[in-house]
Structure 1
């Protein structure tokens, strides 16, 4: 069937890519990477150990996973994603502001762990994982690659910025500043969220006359290249071997990933590196991770997602093993460059493989069913 571009105007999906990039940068920059900058100053003042501090991240990650099946189907409704992001942004901002006033571990666990998980559930990866795959089919890899750059920009910008805030204002006012920033930045962006292009009279990729249904294939790959894609329901996906194999692979990868990222600065400090060097290493990783997402995303539009994710996983495993030989600054930055270019691919390939296998119509419900397994293994990491 012949296709045509619907308008010379910028396709609205690209605005959502921008919203996803900003919200992703904020969420990963604070919730995963930035929190490690607070370990030493909060621990020194309040007498907390690193293990006690990181238990909050375990709570946050586990709750996010356990609650995902509940909110997952809402992400497929017309107004669900907008409401979820708005509520999540407000809760996230207020919880960050409340961290200024904590004096005990239970308060930290409550505001960062419990309320932070609820906020992250709405304001986190909702766009990249469930909304953008509905807006893009042919250009899905490239679009998600750009959107997921937010996750790479987070470690590039936030650790250094947070370190500066703590040095300038102290850790309490740094939390307060971040909470206000979340409210000012993320709340307005939530009003731009649209679930599907059809809700605005548009078609995926901004191309008209693209039929949605085609005979299902094993991976949906060939159908997707022609602009046609079969969509599984959540129940249908649960009965496929691919669903459980993807869960196993992603959950296993998350077992080490979350803990390593959150403990990056404390670990390097323990190995004799200064806080500034460790923070700079995160920023270099961020630059490489941002670059990697575009590269892997573009490749995913042209090659088998299965082959790419195998290659990416093997290269990441090799890069992690190289950490054993990090004994000085030169080897440290060699490691973070290699790790960024390889690990960065996982953040784009994981959501892509779900969307490419199961289609776009019910991806919110499907990813919601997957998240508890991923969340529980990631929670063990810290």
Structure 2
């Protein structure tokens, strides 16, 4: 999440340096999501058949290499290939698909709350990487910043996932949710779906539609947010800070929304969150150079809604696995 969010900072600088159209440059992020849609079924199969840790490590390597290659961008096509295809593919392997599958093996009864805690790191990552990327660009330039970000991705995510990630609690002598041996996971999941059964349900296809439209709206804001605020007359540093700082707030809301979804249901919690997203997007209309106060409620509500998004898909999506 932090890597995707940091693209908005690079995007603003790339548009200025190369004098590209914004739509042309934003295609790179669109390509990364095309790669996401193409690889998600493959990643799901790999996670089921092999150690998820190997899938994550492979993704980290691909993502890190892609980010380093972005330092050698010369035209739109190299942007599309290095970021959209290569880095985008790597991000797919370390996305919500892989970790939701792992999480479903560890937690059952309080999966929403667990997913909230697990995804709270996304908000921290957004806070750190957006500010870090902007700072590195100011000091060294955008090419060097890409290299540094790629090296950090390899240097931090490779050892943490390779050494500490465990795909199931049994590897550590634990049981799912601390269950006793007399109560098996199969007993709890007796109402879960098999893949072909899920394809025949409206619930599954509604989930697919929700995911598609939600990600579409969220990514439009993530990609264009910094540049949009700059166009409004907001200084790029203030825009980056506003976008990053509130990412830390989302960490708290991910936990709250996860806890809430366990109690009122995924559908209700997500519906409330979707309304928050719509309101936050409309609120951007009121942002002007002489009136940047509306930035606060926008960032607060937008990242609040991101918390419900993650808890919903971690909780609901894993019901089909």
Aligned pair partner of 2:22 in 47, 50, 65: 50
More helix by share: 2
Query: What's the TM-score, normalizing by structure 1?
Result: 0.78
1:167 paired with 2:130, answer no
Aligned-partner SS, 2:192: coil
Task: Return the alpha-carbon distance in structure 2 between the equivalents of residues 332 and 138 of structure 1.
Answer: 37
Aligned-partner SS, 1:314: helix
| 1:314 Cα offset (Å) | 2.3
Q: Residues 99 and 175 of structure 1 are in contact (CA less than 8 Å); yes or no, is this contact kept in structure 2? A: yes
Corresponding position of 1:106: 77
1:247 paired with 2:247, answer no
Aligned-partner SS, 2:239: helix
Corresponding position of 1:66: 38
1:180 paired with 2:151, answer yes
| 1:336 Cα offset (Å) | 1.5
Structure 2 residues without counterparts, runs of 5 or longer = none
Aligned pair partner of 1:76 in 42, 48, 73: 48
| 1:127 Cα offset (Å) | 4.4
Aligned pair partner of 1:146 in 114, 117, 130: 117
The alignment of Structure 1 onto Structure 2 pairs a total of residues equal to 317
Q: Residues 289 and 345 of structure 1 are in contact (CA less than 8 Å); yes or no, is this contact kept in structure 2? A: no
The one-character-per-residue Cα deviations of 1:268-306 (angstroms, maximum 9, x if unpaired) are 111111101211211233122112101011112223222
Task: Return the alpha-carbon distance in structure 1 between the equivalents of residues 132 and 179 of structure 2.
Answer: 41
Corresponding position of 2:261: 300
TM-aligned CA distance change 1:146 to 1:175, over 3 Å: same
Corresponding position of 2:298: 335
Task: Return the alpha-carbon distance in structure 1 between the equivalents of residues 64 and 57 of structure 2.
Answer: 11
Aligned-partner SS, 1:292: helix
Corresponding position of 2:273: 312
Aligned pair partner of 2:108 in 123, 134, 137: 137
| 1:318 Cα offset (Å) | 2.5
Corresponding position of 1:351: 314
TM-aligned CA distance change 1:50 to 1:326, over 3 Å: same
Task: Return the alpha-carbon distance in structure 2 between the equivalents of residues 46 and 326 of structure 1.
Answer: 27
Specify which structure has the bigger relative contact order, considering alpha-carbon pairs within 8 angstroms and separated by 6 or more residues.
1
Task: Return the alpha-carbon distance in structure 2 between the equivalents of residues 41 and 312 of structure 1.
Answer: 31
| 1:130 Cα offset (Å) | 1.4
The one-character-per-residue Cα deviations of 1:23-82 (angstroms, maximum 9, x if unpaired) are xxxxx2122x11111123333333323222111111111111112112211112342x12
1:324 paired with 2:285, answer yes
C-alpha RMSD of the superposition? 1.9
Which segment is superposed worse, 131-140 or 201-210?
201-210
| 1:196 Cα offset (Å) | 2.4
Aligned-partner SS, 1:301: helix
Aligned-partner SS, 1:70: helix
1:286 paired with 2:257, answer no
Which segment is superposed worse, 87-96 or 309-318?
309-318
Task: Return the alpha-carbon distance in structure 1 between the equivalents of residues 59 and 32 of structure 2.
Answer: 14
Query: What's the TM-score, normalizing by structure 2?
Result: 0.92
Task: Return the alpha-carbon distance in structure 2 between the equivalents of residues 139 and 243 of structure 1.
Answer: 21
The one-character-per-residue Cα deviations of 1:299-341 (angstroms, maximum 9, x if unpaired) are 1222322222222222332332222233321112122112222
| 1:157 Cα offset (Å) | 1.6
Which segment is superposed worse, 306-315 or 239-248?
306-315
| 1:266 Cα offset (Å) | 0.6
Task: Return the alpha-carbon distance in structure 2 between the equivalents of residues 289 and 195 of structure 1.
Answer: 26
Aligned-partner SS, 2:293: helix
1:82-121 equivalences under 5 Å are 82-121=53-92
